[in-house]
Amino acid sequence: MSFVSRGFAGRRRAGPPGRLPPGQYDVAEGFPVLSAGPTPRTPVGSWDFTIRGEVDAGRRWTWEEFRALPRERPTVDIHCVTSWSKLDTRWEGVSVDTLLDGVTTGAGYAVAFSDGGYTTNVPLADLRGGRAWVVDTYDGAPLHPEHGGPARLLVPHLYFWKSAKWVRGLVLSAQDQPGFWETFGYHNRGDPWRQQRYAGD
């Protein structure tokens, strides 16, 4: 996959005290678009979400079933590894806690996989406890494909590459398996407050 960068807009600003991790700037009204490869455009009628791997039984939701699950409306700050942050972003979707409810697993890790072949690994602890969602709405409107629609993972306490766009599911495992950017030297966890951008940080 080639690296595609487009959609940078807005002014840089310092941001309110205590809101920006080290090395970040507030992109204000802009919302940059960064993608590893072309933008998939999956019809909702063809979309589903699955949980598989080291689980008691796999789980699968169609678009209609996913939309019928209990929904939440998180307002969160997001932080990209390329140094921009966007504050008070408004989303709507389903908590990963809800998706994992009733799943029996001894796994400690998950790999999120997406249309277009993108993957990223996340410790399961970072997806639980009200810390992560699969979202399909941004700022009151259906999520645009360039921002990951029809649905993306949202893990706002980690760098934004961990919030996989065009997400289609999670593979749970007892072993950590690096995803796309992690195999190219990005940090395995990606905590912006610790500046965990690259392996060794």
Q: What is the pLDDT of residues 33-47, one digit of tens each?
A: 987 778 999 999 999
Q: Which domains, and CATH codes, for the chain?
A: 3-194 (3.90.420.10)
- Under 8 Å between Cβ of 60 and 37: no
pLDDT in tens, 153-198: 999 999 999 999 999 999 999 999 999 999 999 999 999 999 999 9
Task: Give CA–CA dist 62/69, Å, rounded.
Answer: 11
Strands (E), 40-130: 48-53, 59-62, 75-79, 84-95, 109-114, 119-123
pLDDT in tens, 65-80: 999 999 999 999 999 9
Strands 109-114 and 167-173: antiparallel
Confidence grade of residue 201 (pLDDT, cut at 50, 70, 90) = confident
pTM of the model: 0.91
Task: Give CA–CA dist 112/118, Å, rounded.
Answer: 8
- Under 8 Å between Cβ of 154 and 161: no
**Per-residue pLDDT at 13 exceeds 90:** no
- Under 8 Å between Cβ of 22 and 193: yes
**pLDDT value of position 14:** 65
